[in-house]
Amino acid sequence: MFSLKGKKAAITGAASGIGRAVASVFAKQGAIVYLLDLNKEALDAAVKEIESENGLAVAYLLDVTSQSAVKTVFESISNLDILVNCAGISNIGKADSTREEDFDKIYNVNVKGVYNCLHEAIPNMKEKKAGVIVNLSSIASSVGLQDRFAYSMSKGAVLGMTLSVARDYLHDGIRCNCVSPARVHTSFVDNFIAKNYPGNEKEMFEKLSKSQPIGRMAKPEEVAHLVLYLCSDEASFITGCDYPFDGGFIKLNN
């Protein structure tokens, strides 16, 4: 079950965190994975790790905010079967404390970056009459998170784009869904805590972990397994859905 043998999958933000976990899991299931990211050193390490386990991986340095750059990369990947939009950044701030430059940066990466990849991947999928897209949104798209104004804006847009694509290409053989995680334990979380709570890292990690009713953060691999299912033939009846991946945060945090 959940075989991706021979499938070509492009994954943005694939050098770290959830994107890297998705690339690794996909490769183990037989996919040819195309890792798209800005961090060359981390990209090379991710490819080396996948190849050490007999997986097939190709790395592309890519700034998803540049449509011309995205176009060039996707033109070099023929017969794409799967697109997973994982590239994203966060920002701390309320509506009146978020700087314009930070708002624009969040928009360009989290919203325009997803649009750019959809814009370039979908025509090839339409031509084949087949394709699967999974976008990484967030619980911030459906609940209010403190001090996450711009980030919440961007993830709400990702959810909206997901539903729009699912509807528009329903009869072109293209499925589109999104996954909305709560906190996932990645290097981003560790760096955020170290930067903002020096000397209290352990206490803050425990506090953030316990904000999920299940009592811990998710692991990137756990998110990747849900993405794998959604991209597999076993999920062929599923499109236009948002999957909260939140340890009970939305429904049980009373």
pLDDT of residue 196: 79
Query: What was the pLDDT predicted at 254?
Result: 60
Write down the pLDDT at residue 195: 84
**The pLDDT of residue 188:** 82
Q: Do residues 118 and 87 lie in contact, with contact meaning Cβ atoms separated by under 8 Å?
A: no
Crossing angle for the helix pair 187-196 and 201-210, to the nearest 10 degrees: 130
Distance CA 178, CA 132 (A): 11
The total of other beta-carbon atoms located within 10 Å of residue 6's CB is 10
The answer to whether residues 212 and 249 touch, using CB atoms and an 8 Å cutoff, is: yes
Count of CB atoms within 10 A of residue 179's CB?
A: 24
The gap from C-alpha 104 to its chain's centroid, in whole angstroms, comes to: 19
This model's pTM is above 0.75 = yes
Distance of CA 112 to the CA centre of its chain: 14
Q: 8: closest CA among 85, 62, 55, 78?
A: 78
H helices of 91-181, in order, are 100-106, 113-128, 149-168
pLDDT tens for the chain, 254 residues: list them: 999 999 999 999 999 999 999 999 999 999 999 999 999 999 999 999 999 999 999 999 999 999 999 999 999 999 999 999 999 999 999 999 999 999 999 999 999 999 999 999 999 999 999 999 999 999 999 999 899 999 999 999 999 999 999 999 999 999 999 999 999 999 888 988 898 789 999 999 999 999 899 999 999 999 999 999 999 999 999 999 999 999 999 999 76
Q: Which of 76, 183, 187, 178 is nearest to 134 (CA)?
A: 178
The ranges assigned to domains in the chain are 8-182+219-248, 185-217
Among residues 34, 60, 151, 169, the one annotated as catalytic is 151
Q: What is the CATH number of domain 8-182+219-248?
A: 3.40.50.720
The separation between the first and the last C-alpha atoms of the chain, rounded to the nearest angstrom, is 37
Q: Which residues contact 73 (CB under 8 A, 6 or more apart)?
A: 36, 60, 62, 120
Give the tokens for residue 243: 């999957």
Active site residue 197: no
- Three-state secondary-structure class, residue 137: coil
> Is residue 168 helix, strand or coil?
helix
Helix axes 67-75 and 113-128, enclosed angle (nearest 10): 30
CB count, 10 Å around CB of 184? 20
Number of C-beta neighbours around residue 168 at 10 A? 12
